[in-house]
A and B are shown apart, each in its own frame.
Chain A
Amino acid sequence: MGGLLFQAFIYLCAAVIAVPIAKRLGLGSVLGYLLAGIFIGPVIGLVGSETQTIQHFAEFGVVMMLFLVGLELQPRMLWEMRNRLIGLGGLQVALTTALITAAALMVGLYWSVALTVGLIFSLSSTAIVLQTLNEKGLSKTEGGRAGFSVLLFQDIAVIPMLALIPLLALPELVGGGGDSLATAGESHGDAGHHHEMSLVAGLPGWAHALVVLGAIASVLLGGHFLSRPMFRFIAESRLREIFTASALMLVIGIALLMTLVDLSPALGTFLAGVVLANSEFRHELESDIEPFKGLLLGLFFITVGAGIDFNILFNDTLTILSLTVGVIAIKGLVLYGLARAFRLTTTDGWLLTLGLAQAGEFGFVLLSFSLQNQVLPAELASTLSLVVALSMLLTPVLFILYDKLILNRQPESDERQADTIDETGSVIIAGNGRFGQIVNRLLVASGVQTTVLDHQADIINMLSKVGVKSYYGDASRPELLHAAGIESAKAVVIAIDDRSRTLEMVEHIRRHYPKVKILARAFDVNHLYLLNKAGVDIAVRELFDSSLELGKATLRAVGVHPFKVEKMSTAFRKHDENGMNTLYELWDENTEMASNKAYLARARELGETLKEMMETDRMQLHDRSERGWTPPPKHYTKDMGE
């Protein structure tokens, strides 16, 4: 227990210190984690060989990430990118493998070894690239999308590669295997062939295929038909942690099922994500899984940093460095050529080229797997694993290069275009009860795109039936706001039926998203003042307008001329507004007097102001409403002369 706590503390400590600093320096969180790993591993030696084991555990972060990616991707969008997925992704893997294999043959490697090396380096790092793209807001660009297609294809391609590699075993190594690296891959999820539990071991080919198809079908059908009733049932329990538990259960369950049938868990959860992308529980799932994914990926990057063997690097610096640069150059060349062939713009092409030029985490998996299967000699494997790690370490640097050299050099015209298209923007409406519903209906009727959040599953259920885009979740949770896309929203409407949560939300949003407009439902004057102080843009008292409307209807009912009623109510509203502003200044100065005495004094004061208000109402309102419609004085025409 003590050892575990110590390790956890070391990892967390390194992350907490290194990541914010790296971020502040503009290096991105991935490089921060990598540096933290290098520091606690090779530099001061606090962690050692156990990093390999932790790494396999942390790779589950990749599985979660693909689930989240799937959630963002509706089935229709996946279908639309099929050409890119197969064309761009397939060509990237094939060409890179071919070129690197050729290079390896030229330096005198045996053909099967050369091919394995080619396969290993054809993969890029899904974890680093997607994380960085998200962080930099590049995932929605054409380059980002192309990168994603390639990465997705690679993740799928790992499966046949794992099947192919054992066939390439070197005769002279068979029987002699087993060394430091070989032990590393044993328990790895993706190397499911070696897993103890398997549903397909020993089955004939056709049965194997049937089981695999059955597993995929159960993920797709289960996701489509079973998930909604299940989540609705859980949501109605109103227990947040149970919802989180069920989200984790779903992801882990699918990963397990995929492992049992020898498929990539990442692929399985990705498919499940796509199936759930249309679900009203999508944002809640996202916000539940997101922190786990973030931590696990962070841990994964740390272990990559910690696992770098500086001894090999120092012994053979020149070879290692030139191999790394060579790999990056070949991969970059292929990507650049493909970007050209697929007609990406220069900016997007460079994003693809620089972004995906590294080797990836699946490279480690293939390496240890090849070692176990006697495909690669151990010495070569440890050199190559260092090259993989170094190339991953260099990725953030390449992204910085992209930021500094490519983005700065491009004329702004492309981006301006995109801005104006996005200009209508979207509105997040928190709370869809009697209040938020009307706001939402008006906005939707006016063609404004809204995202509705509510914590009552039955309301959401009803709304999605009538075609309103709505999601289940507690809107006051920051993660849910994030998942609902507050970064790109133009405005947030807070219409929830909870005074203090409204206030908390305004404070939170104002602090983290200074640009978004916040409009809130206020319960009374005091709440309105508190909201103003918290930085709301516009707050409206929930009952003021309806009371005024009823007052107007009453005036008309007792025979006051309707236009006179209109003028009176307009004047009343203005008068009330002015009074509120004056009172706010008084109130604002005295907010510190929170004692009971002060509160009572204010209550009394308010009673008096109400009395005064009603008296002045009569005097001033009359004057005000007549302003502008006062006829000129009698006999005024005499002034006009002649």
Chain B
Amino acid sequence: MTRKAAQRILILLAHPSLDRSEVNGPLAQAAAEIEGITLVDLYAEYPDFQIDIDREQQRLLEHDVIIFQHPLYWYSTPAILKEWQDLVLEHGFAYGSEGTALHGKLFLNALSAGGAEAAYRAEGYNHFTIRELLQPMEQMASLCGMRYLPPFALFGARTAVDEGRIGHHIDAWIELLKALRDRKLDIETAQNLAGLNSDLNRLIKEA
């Protein structure tokens, strides 16, 4: 069997005050150092929300894995990622009978959430799991013909630094990105999980 080419990964980072970020900033920095990854800081590139549709569509065409990286705001993304969806995922490009540009690509959210993991379930105060809350994006991926992966999430993000949980999370993030790039992630198994974090080691196949 011939070795398949590496997957090209596009990270769309949305954080409106990156200078104060404790989680997404370091994650983005770690990702930027990995070969074969394109990191786009949406708030830096479009500070006035004037998203360049052609450029963004071109970027999508040039990558195989699309990642929304962001803090969880009101159970969804910061505003610019919604704007990005509204503008870039045009009929005839991303969906519709001729909109097949994204078919077969992988999609996932990498996010940080304020609440503890225990809050994100039926009995918790957030009542839904993260994957359930992100269903609009799961359906977006589905309508665009993309394969959806469950979120890679850090819970209790406000206290993660104080409690020394960041280092481990960053290491896992790097491993995940490398596995995606080198096609070592067990996609079929992963697609059925609630999240990518807990079973990451089992999901990564040895070469």
A interface list, Cβ under 8 A from B: 570, 627-630, 632-633, 636, 639-640
**Contacting B50 at CB < 8 Å: which of A570, A639, A640?**
A570
| A554 CA / B87 CA spacing, docked (Å) | 28
A-B contact count (CB 8 A): 19
Q: Is B53 a contact partner of A628 (Cβ separation < 8 A)?
A: yes
**Contacting A633 at CB < 8 Å: which of B48, B86, B91?**
B91
Q: List 19 A-B contacts (CB under 8 A).
A: A570-B48, A570-B50, A627-B53, A628-B51, A628-B53, A628-B86, A628-B87, A628-B90, A629-B87, A630-B90, A632-B91, A632-B96, A633-B91, A636-B91, A636-B96, A639-B96, A639-B97, A640-B95, A640-B143
Beyond the given A570-B48, A639-B97, A640-B143, please list 5 additional residue pairs across the A-B interface where CB-CB is below 8 A: A570-B50, A628-B51, A628-B86, A628-B90, A640-B95
Q: How far is the CB of A105 from chain B (nearest CB, A)?
A: 65
Residues of A within 8 A of B86 (CB): 628
CB-CB nearest 4 A-B residue pairs: A632-B91, A639-B97, A628-B87, A639-B96
What 0/1 readout, one digit per residue, does chain B (41-70) give for beta carbons within 8 Å of chain A?
Answer: 000000010110100000000000000000
| A639 CA / B97 CA spacing, docked (Å) | 6
Residues of B within 8 A of A633 (CB): 91
Residues of A within 8 A of B48 (CB): 570
| A339 CA / B201 CA spacing, docked (Å) | 55
> Which chain B residue lies CB-closest to A570?
B50
Q: How far is the CB of A260 from chain B (nearest CB, A)?
A: 58
Residues of B within 8 A of A632 (CB): 91, 96
Within 8 A of A (CB), among B129-143: 143
Q: How far is the CB of B43 from chain A (nearest CB, A)?
A: 16
Q: How far is the CB of A631 from chain B (nearest CB, A)?
A: 8
What 0/1 readout, one digit per residue, does chain B (5-26) give for beta carbons within 8 Å of chain A?
Answer: 0000000000000000000000
Residues of B within 8 A of A628 (CB): 51, 53, 86-87, 90
Residues of A within 8 A of B96 (CB): 632, 636, 639
| A628 CA / B143 CA spacing, docked (Å) | 18
| A316 CA / B10 CA spacing, docked (Å) | 77
> Which chain A residue lies CB-closest to B50?
A570
| A640 CA / B98 CA spacing, docked (Å) | 11
Q: How far is the CB of B81 from chain A (nearest CB, A)?
A: 15
> Which chain B residue lies CB-closest to A574?
B50
Q: Which of B48, B86, B91 has the most CB of A within 10 A?
A: B91
Residues of B within 8 A of A630 (CB): 90
| A29 CA / B67 CA spacing, docked (Å) | 57
Residues of A within 8 A of B53 (CB): 627-628
Residues of B within 8 A of A629 (CB): 87
Residues of A within 8 A of B90 (CB): 628, 630
> Which chain B residue lies CB-closest to A632?
B91
Residues of B within 8 A of A640 (CB): 95, 143
Q: How far is the CB of A5 from chain B (nearest CB, A)?
A: 62
| A629 CA / B83 CA spacing, docked (Å) | 11
Q: How far is the CB of B54 from chain A (nearest CB, A)?
A: 9
Q: How far is the CB of A563 from chain B (nearest CB, A)?
A: 11
Q: How far is the CB of A540 from chain B (nearest CB, A)?
A: 15
| A627 CA / B90 CA spacing, docked (Å) | 10
| A628 CA / B83 CA spacing, docked (Å) | 10
Residues of A within 8 A of B51 (CB): 628
Q: How far is the CB of A578 from chain B (nearest CB, A)?
A: 13
| A570 CA / B48 CA spacing, docked (Å) | 10
Residues of A within 8 A of B50 (CB): 570
| A123 CA / B166 CA spacing, docked (Å) | 57
Q: How far is the CB of A572 from chain B (nearest CB, A)?
A: 12
Q: How far is the CB of B3 from chain A (nearest CB, A)?
A: 37
| A639 CA / B100 CA spacing, docked (Å) | 12
| A257 CA / B73 CA spacing, docked (Å) | 71
Q: How far is the CB of B94 from chain A (nearest CB, A)?
A: 11
| A640 CA / B97 CA spacing, docked (Å) | 7
Q: How far is the CB of B160 from chain A (nearest CB, A)?
A: 24
| A636 CA / B51 CA spacing, docked (Å) | 25
What 0/1 readout, one digit per residue, does chain B (96-112) give for beta carbons within 8 Å of chain A?
Answer: 11000000000000000
| A630 CA / B93 CA spacing, docked (Å) | 13
| A632 CA / B87 CA spacing, docked (Å) | 12
Residues of A within 8 A of B143 (CB): 640
| A159 CA / B90 CA spacing, docked (Å) | 83
Residues of B within 8 A of A570 (CB): 48, 50
| A630 CA / B92 CA spacing, docked (Å) | 12
| A628 CA / B97 CA spacing, docked (Å) | 19
| A629 CA / B51 CA spacing, docked (Å) | 12
| A586 CA / B57 CA spacing, docked (Å) | 31
Q: How far is the CB of A552 from chain B (nearest CB, A)?
A: 14
Residues of B within 8 A of A627 (CB): 53
Q: How far is the CB of B158 from chain A (nearest CB, A)?
A: 25
| A540 CA / B134 CA spacing, docked (Å) | 43
| A630 CA / B51 CA spacing, docked (Å) | 15
> Which chain A residue lies CB-closest to B92?
A632
Q: How far is the CB of B93 from chain A (nearest CB, A)?
A: 11
> Which chain A residue lies CB-closest to B143?
A640
Q: Which of A628, A629, A632, A636 has the most CB of B within 10 A?
A: A628
Q: How far is the CB of B151 from chain A (nearest CB, A)?
A: 26
Residues of A within 8 A of B95 (CB): 640
Residues of A within 8 A of B97 (CB): 639
Q: How far is the CB of B24 from chain A (nearest CB, A)?
A: 21
> Which chain A residue lies CB-closest to B48?
A570
> Which chain A residue lies CB-closest to B52?
A574
